[in-house]
Structure 1
């Protein structure tokens, strides 16, 4: 019985020494990115020609990570993240860029968005009348 008590005390002290520093309060500090408290936001955007993504092969894909910092292969990651944040993650709420002039040519282009936005799974598909209309949507969110 005596050895069991010593063993239990030793394990308890060792666990306290190892886990003790991990029990501190989590504090968000500006600029600290290694262990961020932000919900993940990572998306894959694809584009292709056709009326829908069903049965079509995407022609191009880019990645967009918005948290903890904008990054990815999207050509304008920082502004794309800002636009999506402004729309509160609603892709349909992305407004057309002011001053964009596009022809009425019908050459359908589809985009898809798959991934995680602020910790929630998202799946989105939209068809635009042509590439110009797609590129002007959201001030450039779909321009890649």
Structure 2
């Protein structure tokens, strides 16, 4: 008889735990566990010669994955990911930084693009520069490939 009572109590508590959230009661259900411990961060960066990405085909392209760890075909993935994290994912802040570089006023337009996912959010970025020197003058490792 004792086993029957124990089984009845176990089954009753299990049913309440499983079916309770389905009844629409005001009890707060525990949130679902995340699929992973980090938000995905995987990007494709391109450089092309021209005024806009729509008008040119990329001359170079690299991949950059920052989570769970830095990797990809980018020449300095750890530095690029660290810069991007420090900037809070703001590509414009990294592209418009000023370094101590003097550039000529030669007009040979270069366009960089970033497409992918940054910390779980879809991102798409495009920035044009008058020449390669101005692109590199920001001092950012993100666009140095």
TM-score of the superposed pair, with normalisation by structure 1:
0.71
Aligned counterpart, 2:24? none
Q: Number of matched residues?
A: 115
Mapped to 2, the partners of 1:38 and 1:87 lie a distance apart of 18
TM-score of the superposed pair, with normalisation by structure 2:
0.71
- Contact 1:135/1:141 (<8 A) preserved: no
Residue by residue over 1:97-135, the C-alpha shift from the partner in whole angstroms, topping out at 9 and shown as x without a partner, is 532222221110001100000000000111011111112
Aligned counterpart, 1:100? 101
Which stretches in structure 2 are left out of the alignment for 5+ residues? 1-10, 12-32
Which stretches in structure 1 are left out of the alignment for 5+ residues? 1-8, 10-25, 27-34
Residue by residue over 1:46-83, the C-alpha shift from the partner in whole angstroms, topping out at 9 and shown as x without a partner, is 01000101131111100000111111011111111111
Listed as ranges, the matches of 1:1-144 within 5 Å are: 36-94=36-94, 95-96=96-97, 98-144=99-145
* Ranges of 4+ aligned residues in structure 1 off by more than 6 Å: none
- Contact 1:97/1:139 (<8 A) preserved: no
Larger Rg, first or second structure (1 or 2): 2
